[in-house]
Amino acid sequence: MNNTSDNLRGAVFMMLAMAGYVVNDTLMKLVAVDVPLAQSVFIRGLLASVLLAGFAAYKHQLFVAVNKREFGIILLRALSEIAATYCYLTALINMPLANITAILQSLPLAVTFAGAMFLGHRVGWRRYVAIAIGFGGVLIIVRPGGEDFNSYALWAMTAVGFITLRDLMAAMLDRRTPSIFVALFTAVGVTLAGGIMASFEPWAPISGGSFAYLSFAAFFILIGYVASISAMRFGEIAFVSPFRYTVLVWALLIGIFVFDDYPDFWTLVGIAIVVGTGVFTFYREQRAKAE
């Protein structure tokens, strides 16, 4: 498969992953009213793990032999996912969906920067400037010291760091290692972490509605897991990352129509800056290839 086809395939996977994640986020935020976070993560993870295990068995990819290096990458990716899950969901439960999604739009810039620092990807000075400006856009969204600022914005920014590490690990995976196997390993890790944390909290009764939300969340997080791994493995990081911005449309619409959350003027300004610098980074990547 040529490079252009790989990139297009990666872009499609990234858009699919963003749709899966934002629907999952919505369902987890809805269920948080009645069910503690760790319990929700455990039940959702258990359901997702069962679905993934069944699919992996069908594809004959339930048990895969990997070398020590590959296992280390898979393990570090899973640990990053666990940390990102708890940081992100803690922020999500306590912040408007549109605001936390806006903060996460710094991810394409963060991943591009990390790819240059740790994977040797070539990034020119213009893109470094764009990354710096994009970080300024994040600060406008977060507004440290402002009346709307709280510690949960820091949880969201910490999640960005762990998601960046997670995506770098995915980019380092051997293509022969099935994405479904990696997703299953990750899902089991998140589920175990949720179960351990839930054991220290009172167990809330699960209503039929909450269980339905968690069941659908498991399905959509499964889509997010598999598609995000595939996106980072098949497409180039600088090409694929900007397609994360498709999540903004869904998050803003869901925030308005489901949660009645309207982003304020400065949040929209910050979003525009971050998205604009991300698109510029994508543009420079294509120019660099053409030269």
pLDDT tens, residue by residue, 197-212: 999 988 999 999 999 9
Query: Who wins on pLDDT, 256 or 47?
Result: 47
As a whole number of angstroms, the distance between CA 172 and CA 80 comes to 14
Whole-number pLDDT of residue 121: 65
User: When comparing pLDDT for 283 and 80, which is higher?
Assistant: 80
pTM of the model: 0.78
- Judge whether residue 235 has pLDDT over 50: yes
282 has a pLDDT exceeding 70: no
HSE of 28, CA atoms in CB hemisphere, 13 A: 32
Q: Cα separation of 36 and 258, whole Å? A: 21
Distance, CA of 99 to CA of 93 (rounded, Å): 12
More confident of the two residues 212 and 286 = 212
Unique residue bearing structure tokens 């990750």 = 186
pLDDT at 291: 59
At residue 1 the predicted structure's pLDDT band, cuts being 50, 70 and 90, is very low
Gap between the terminal Cα atoms of the chain: 23
Q: How far is Cα 228 from Cα 123, in angstroms, rounded to an integer?
A: 23
Q: Report the range of poorest mean pLDDT among 3-17, 140-154, 184-198, 257-271.
A: 140-154
Overall average pLDDT of the 221-226 stretch: 89
Given a cut of 80, whether residue 281 has pLDDT beyond it is no
Strand ranges (DSSP E) for the chain? Answer: none
- Stated as kind and residue range, the H or E segment containing 279 is helix 265-290
Beta-carbon-side half-sphere exposure of residue 196 (alpha carbons within 13 Å): 8
Categorize the per-residue pLDDT at 107 as very low, low, confident or very high, splitting at 50, 70 and 90. Answer: confident
What percent of the chain is modeled with pLDDT above 70?
88
Mean pLDDT of the chain: 84
Q: Nearest Cα to 267, choosing from 110, 100, 152, 31?
A: 100
pLDDT above 80: residue 77: yes
Q: Is the pLDDT of residue 165 over 60?
A: yes
Domain ranges (residues) in the chain: 3-290
The conformation of residue 175, written as its DSSP 8-state character, comes to T
